[in-house]
Amino acid sequence: MMLIASFIYVLIILLLGSVLTLFLTGSRRRPLVEVLGLIFLLGAGAMPTILTWHSLFGIGPSRLTVALIALASIMVLINMRRWVAARLPLLPAKPADWREGFLGGALIVTIGLVNLIVLINTLGVPLVEWDSFAIWGLKAKVLFHSPLNPRPPFFTDVRMTYSHLDYPLLTPMLVAGGYAMIGQVEEQIGRIGLPLIFMGQTLLAYVGMRMWMNRIPALGMTLVLMGCPYIVFLAPMGIADVPLSGFLLGGIVYLLKWVQSRDTCDALICAACLSFAAQTKSEGLALMAIIMLIVAIITVMRRTWKTLGACALLIVLCVGPWLIWSMGVPHLNENYHSQLTIPNIIKNTGRLSVILPALVNHIIDIELWGVLWFMLVLMAIMGFRAIMRPEGIVLWSLIILHLGLYTVIYVVTPWNVAELINASMARLLIHLAPTVALLTAVHWGAMQEQNQEQLPG
């Protein structure tokens, strides 16, 4: 019975994702893999966002709220059936010869197996990783048992400071929705929504790679990213780092698509993914601000004010309610805004001698990342021209700003910096992995073009 209820929850998430995909993809026909990736990622981001809105109105997650979301989605889809018809058939894939077909098939099966591993371990393994129960699992229980309005005593009980009371609530709310559907706290089946983010990330990673790579290399690079041992290990655990990396990937892919296409719909999808990232982890909020700054600079250069306005509105709508609510929660752990002062940064610059070597050591750790980072270095050398292209500039800027942000956090942190690095740096690099993989693809594409230019005649 619980399995059936959780399966229905998945279907409703996908239904909601379909509605959003329909709204946000505009009139352009898109390939099946892209549409599926969007349905998974947008659905898994929108469901907890809507449940949070309900909860802020005093209605905690329940079968009724989820059923209402399903009903609304079905009504929208029925009313928009002409829109649906206009987008069908989806763009067909280019036919492949037998060699490409065989290799591609093998890679698709392997990528599928990685996703299957994550699915099995999500549904099969209880919460055993420290943060998974101390922070995220506990919050999922709190959100399941009481709505956010009136504020549950948990969120003002400073004894629970260790649980990071002010952390964003998207991941635990997605799990709380699962608990609501099965009617009880069952930490394995209740996490059914999490693999959807991983699957969406896998599909959109491929979509992103395909912008610069042919089919086989794109599949290979997708496998290199999604098959990072550390990501496969952490993804089932219900901690927010892997979902954050998924939403960031969606945001960055559609930022790059928008840079190329100038289609407002791509910018809106980017904004939606980033708003989900902001609700997933505090780092997501900072990274959303960085990426939206890039969007703002480009819109100013292109004078497309409506696009900027629409993106800002979408973000305010999604993130605003939770952000306002979270102001009433004690910020007693990091509270980095108050630490970010010039005197504090100058005072702690000596920490760089600990932070930078640790950063390099983590990046070159092949047990965690395979050779993802080495690939980037190699391709950056061979396809160096991409550095001067818009997508290269955007992605390199993102990597530098991203690493800069985390370095500054370590510089100002009130915690013991060596202990904090040990506990968190590998996880922070998960957030960066999609950008690294996409940048590798960009340089790969530039290398191919250079090769073609070098052909005689």
Partner 1 sequence: MAKSPLTRAKQITATVALILAIAYALRGIWKEQIIWQWIYASLTGNSQQVAESWNMVDRLVAAVPSNNVVLRFDGFNPNKPKDVIDIQQFYVRGSYWLYPRRLYFAEDGAIIRTGRDVLEAKFDPTVGWIRAHDAQGLLRMVLSPESQVSFHFDSLPEEQQSR
- Both tokens of 199, joined, read 């699957």
DSSP track, 31-77: BHHHHHHHHHHHHHHHHHHHHHHHHHTT----HHHHHHHHHHHHHHH
DSSP track, 315-339: HHHHHHHHHHHHTTS---S--HHHH
Segment contacting partner 1 by CB under 8 A, of 6-14, 63-71, 230-238, 253-261:
230-238
Find out whether 445 and 212 touch, Cβ atoms under 8 Å: yes
Name which of 112 and 126 has its Cβ closer to partner 1.
126
Name which of 103 and 317 has its Cβ closer to partner 1.
103
Shortest distance in whole angstroms from residue 322 CB to partner 1: 21
3 state DSSP class of 91? strand
- Both tokens of 200, joined, read 């969406």
SS (H, E, C) 74-88: HHHHHHCHHHHHHCC
Shortest distance in whole angstroms from residue 86 CB to partner 1: 38
CB neighbour list of residue 411: distance below 8 Å, 6 or more residues apart: 345, 348, 349, 351, 352, 355
Residue 328 in contact with partner 1, rule: CB under 8 A:
no
Task: Give the x/- contact pattern for partner 1 in 404-423, rule: CB under 8 A.
Answer: --------------------
Name which of 349 and 422 has its Cβ closer to partner 1.
422
Angle at CA of residue 75, ends 69 and 81, nearest 5°: 130
> How far, in Å, are 159, 420, 456 from residue 453 at the CA level?
64, 48, 8
CB neighbour list of residue 197: distance below 8 Å, 6 or more residues apart: 40, 41, 44, 45, 242, 243, 246, 247
- Both tokens of 337, joined, read 């805004």
Residue from 120, 134, 245 nearest 191 by CA: 120
Task: Name which position in 158, 327, 342, 388 contacts partner 1 (CB under 8 A).
Answer: 158
Name which of 83 and 384 has its Cβ closer to partner 1.
384
Name which of 47 and 119 has its Cβ closer to partner 1.
119
Name which of 19 and 213 has its Cβ closer to partner 1.
213
Task: Name which position in 27, 301, 367, 388 contacts partner 1 (CB under 8 A).
Answer: 367
Residue 242 in contact with partner 1, rule: CB under 8 A:
no
Residue 58 in contact with partner 1, rule: CB under 8 A:
no
Task: Name which position in 53, 83, 336, 374 contacts partner 1 (CB under 8 A).
Answer: 374
- Both tokens of 378, joined, read 């190699």
Of 200-229, binders to partner 1 (CB under 8 A) are 217, 220-221, 223-224, 227-229
Task: Give the x/- contact pattern for partner 1 in 83-112, rule: CB under 8 A.
Answer: ------------------------x--x--
Task: Name which position in 12, 46, 160, 291 contacts partner 1 (CB under 8 A).
Answer: 160
CB neighbour list of residue 398: distance below 8 Å, 6 or more residues apart: 252, 290, 291, 294, 435
DSSP track, 384-398: GGGGGSHHHHHHHHH
Residue 120 in contact with partner 1, rule: CB under 8 A:
yes
Segment contacting partner 1 by CB under 8 A, of 25-33, 127-135, 304-312, 336-344:
127-135
Shortest distance in whole angstroms from residue 313 CB to partner 1: 37
Shortest distance in whole angstroms from residue 236 CB to partner 1: 7
What residue ranges bind partner 1 (CB under 8 A)? Answer: 107, 110, 114, 117, 120-121, 123-128, 130, 133-134, 137-138, 141-142, 145-146, 154, 157-163, 188, 217, 220-221, 223-224, 227-229, 232-233, 236, 332-333, 366-368, 370-372, 374-375, 378-379, 382, 444, 447, 450-451, 454-457
